[in-house]
Amino acid sequence: MVMSIIYGIIALSLLILVHELGHFLMARLANVKVLTFSLGFGKKLLSFRRGETEYALSMVPLGGYVKLLGESPEEEVQEEDIPRSYAHKPPFVKILIAFSGPFFNLIFAALLFYVVFVSGYNVLSTKVGSVEKGYPAYEAGIKEGDIIVNIEGKEIREWSDIMETMAEAQSGPLRFTVKRNGSLVDMAIIPKETESKNIFGEPIRRKVIGITASSEMVSKKDTLIGATTKAVYQTYNLSKITVLGIVKLIMGSISPKNVGGPLLILEVAGKQAKEGVTSLIYFVAIISINLGIINLLPIPILDGGHILFHIIEIVTRRKMSQRWMDIAQKVGMGILVAVMVLAFFNDIMRIFVG
């Protein structure tokens, strides 16, 4: 448990550092003076100053912040500092600064995926673990231990290739080639459509033939170019799934019980670390995507809320009144607190109740 907490805190701190680094670098690029760069909230445990910026490590490791000159409405800005004041920058510059944090999380996720894909990772082999009676594979003669090497002329290298090929195939028989005792055996199998559930718990129709994978794993390593393409696609695909998940949660299609928080991250990070560095890196990449997407939600107090305010300013050509900004911030804080309470409650129920 202690190691899980340590791994979890390290993972969260790294992702927060990347997020805040995005804001920091864009602010510097836009010639906005950065007063403080803090990893964590609350009381500062360690701090040092380099140039015009104070760098700090604070007590609560569940976030971080970059304090910019002129960011607070009540802050007085000296006349000579106005060109470097956040408040005096045009809206599109503020949007870039707000967007850069989540964007860095997505870029970091792609980088982590790239490291995994190029260094090597394990995937399920195409060896058949079991064959269910009464299903097409059993009727066609597939046996436990067979190795599927080809479907409809497409080479099959890992178990996910089987699922993808069957999902893309037209209705009718599929030509399977399996390796059995060193020999190749051809057979025609007509997949059966069954109803199951997707990752959101929604009913879907999918093609099955009645086989399961064995526990045999094979090592896979992508080329430098192949890993780049795959990392970008993986980041895009998981980002899309995250957005769909949030939309379905808001619409009520997904139970609020699926919302997880820091305790769940600590628990899973520990488990992934036990499975190996590759599993931990992959998990951190997924959390980085979640952190980036969630921060882009148009909720006041989050980066997405700030972006929304600045878009409104561009459209209306006038700033929102401070009164409405304060009200929106309080509403945003209320939403955020409610979600955090729900996440902590779900985490506690998972860990202690099961």
Q: Are 227 and 181 in contact (CB under 8 A)?
A: no
Distance set, CA 160 to CA 165, 181, 187, 285 (Å)? 9, 23, 20, 20
DSSP 86: G
Task: Identify the burial level of 41 via C-beta atoms within 10 angstroms of its C-beta, where 0-12 means exposed, 13-18 middle and 19 or more buried.
Answer: middle
Amino acid at position 214, single letter? S
Catalytic residues: 20
Q: Are 18 and 100 in contact (CB under 8 A)?
A: no
HSE, side-chain direction, 13 A CA sphere, residue 305: 17
Return the structure tokens found at 20.
């805040």
278 closest CA partner among 52, 95, 118, 82 = 118
Q: What angle do CA 88, 91, 94 make, to 5 degrees?
A: 80
Residues 6 or more apart whose Cβ sits within 8 Å of residue 256: 249, 342, 346
Q: Are 239 and 106 in contact (CB under 8 A)?
A: yes
